[in-house]
Structure 1
Amino acid sequence: MTEVTSSSLNADPAELAKFSELAHRWWDTESEFRPLHQINPLRLAWIESLAPLAGKQVLDVGCGGGILADSMARRGAQVLGIDLAGKALRVAQLHALEAETPNIQYREVSVEALALEQPGHYDVVTCMEMLEHVPDPGSVVRACADLAKPGAHVFFSTIHRNAKAFVQAIVGAEYVLNLLPRGTHEYLKFIKPSELAAFCRPAGLDWVATRGLGYNPLLRRYRLDDDTSVNYLVATRKA
């Protein structure tokens, strides 16, 4: 598999390099990716509560090392995970082989390119913790919508842009609690729910539900709740 580095892609080379450098640690549950392992059961359960996965064609956009993609395949979905960080994808493929994960494939391809290749193909599309890492999140949203069948669910998660989010998601998570490596996020790339909604509407995605993702530093546990002021998840449906 050849790593894609074209400057024409909707990707930040520095972001790809950052996640590729950490690729070998994706499946270490005590590594920098511990938060993803901890929140995965929460987001998986929420996705399944709205869109049961068994027997469905599912696309995971920005899959990284495959934490969510792998768990969706184990729920009976036929899953394709895509990303532009080649090293992370190789880790995902190796894990799938070692863990004998059924019904899963990975490809190094942009979501925009795949949308031209497979329009209207998927029953469920997920794009989690990715939009705040790309130059043009609206392009990603449009491509996710194009890949979805009519009536399909499309899920996003990202981070609100406000003072509270800056304090909690950057200062707190990266510098105080050390939950994430410093420099993981850039505040100006955070996305307000109103901005995400503005991307969804012209793409033909109807807003279905929203949940907040909170963290208790004393218990070191995550939870889904109604507070969308920092981390939040959105479920949409293709018209």
Structure 2
Amino acid sequence: MPLINADEKELAKFSELAHRWWDPESEFKPLHEINPLRLNWIDEHASIAGKQVLDIGCGGGILTESMARKDAKVTGIDLSEKALAVARLHLFESQLSIDYQNVSAEEFAKRHPATFDVVTCMEMLEHVPDPASIVKACATLVKPGGHVFLSTINRNLKAYLFAIVGAEYVLNMLPRGTHEYAKFLKPAELSRYLRDADLEVQELIGMHYQPLNKTYSLGNGSDINYLMRAIKPQN
């Protein structure tokens, strides 16, 4: 694993777009559109009000703020200082209280083991060199009995055609070069990372896009985008 588990090109790419995080018609439009689904799924299973929640790879704070609006006590961490600057600036508008920190998941885990009731890491694992290391950090950070929520993209021909060719080149939903196929993760691989980190997988669910009516939904089938939920055993 590199000294810091991050791809410098990936960091630079998202840092350049940082000022557009909160524009719902920007490159981050898909994140704004799927956020209610992600939030409701997390809250349904973890009832986050009043709980200590950590958002790893928080970027400009779209999910982070929505969890704070549910009265969770939220910390957001990211390695892009530009994205965090936008996230902190947006707090003046939202009037929410969130602790944003520029630190890696691994380093943060060393400082705060077994601190959080809920740990989220959404749309990030497919952008780092060593996703297993991030999963291990999640396991260290979450309290026994706590929940870990993750989302990423499957690695197969269908995912390549829809998530890269379709989303980036045909529908122009995302900037070209947003994703690298080799970094996509099969659900079996992510499940293994979770088990190796002593987390118990509770659910695998797919996120689906309907191009005709341009809506998203959660349901069966994890061929392309999927979410996974795990808990840390009490013992």
Q: Same fold (TM over 0.5)?
A: yes
1:109 and 2:103 equivalent? yes
State the partner residue of 1:177.
171
CA distance in 2, matches of 1:17, 1:142: 25
State the partner residue of 1:70.
65
1:84 and 2:79 equivalent? yes
- Equivalent AA in structure 2 for residue 44 of structure 1: L
Alignment of 1:200-239 (within 5 A): 200-239=194-233
Alignment of 1:115-154 (within 5 A): 115-154=109-148
CA distance in 1, matches of 2:219, 2:174: 21
1:54 and 2:44 equivalent? no
- Equivalent AA in structure 1 for residue 109 of structure 2: A
- Equivalent AA in structure 1 for residue 58 of structure 2: C
TM-score, normalised by the number of residues in structure 1: 0.96
State the partner residue of 2:193.
199
State the partner residue of 1:156.
150
1:218 shift after superposition: 1.1
1:227 shift after superposition: 1.3
Q: Which runs of 5+ in 1 are unaligned?
A: 1-6
- Equivalent AA in structure 2 for residue 226 of structure 1: N
1:63 shift after superposition: 0.3
1:96 shift after superposition: 1.1
State the partner residue of 2:182.
188
State the partner residue of 1:4.
none
1:97 shift after superposition: 1.9
> What do the CA deviations read for 1:59-97 (whole angstroms, capped 9, x no partner)?
000000000000000001000000001100000000012
TM-score, normalised by the number of residues in structure 2: 0.98
Decide which of 39, 42, 55 is 1:44's aligned counterpart. Answer: 39
Structure 1 window deviating more from structure 2 (128-137 vs 218-227): it is: 218-227
CA distance in 1, matches of 2:17, 2:209: 23
1:42 shift after superposition: 0.3
1:12 and 2:7 equivalent? yes
> What do the CA deviations read for 1:81-137 (whole angstroms, capped 9, x no partner)?
000011000000000122201x31100000000000000000000000000000000
1:8 shift after superposition: 1.7
Q: Which runs of 5+ in 2 are unaligned?
A: none
> What do the CA deviations read for 1:5-48 (whole angstroms, capped 9, x no partner)?
xx620000000000000000000000000000000000100001
The runs of at least 4 consecutive aligned structure 1 residues that moved more than 3 Å come to none
- Equivalent AA in structure 2 for residue 14 of structure 1: K
1:210 shift after superposition: 1.4
1:99 and 2:94 equivalent? yes
CA distance in 2, matches of 1:132, 1:18: 14
| Percent of residue pairs bearing the same amino acid type | 62
- Equivalent AA in structure 1 for residue 47 of structure 2: P
- Equivalent AA in structure 2 for residue 234 of structure 1: M
CA distance in 2, matches of 1:151, 1:229: 29
CA distance in 2, matches of 1:149, 1:56: 11
Structure 1 window deviating more from structure 2 (118-127 vs 208-217): it is: 208-217
Aligned length, in residue pairs: 232
1:168 shift after superposition: 0.4
- Equivalent AA in structure 1 for residue 19 of structure 2: H
Decide which of 19, 27, 30 is 2:25's aligned counterpart. Answer: 30
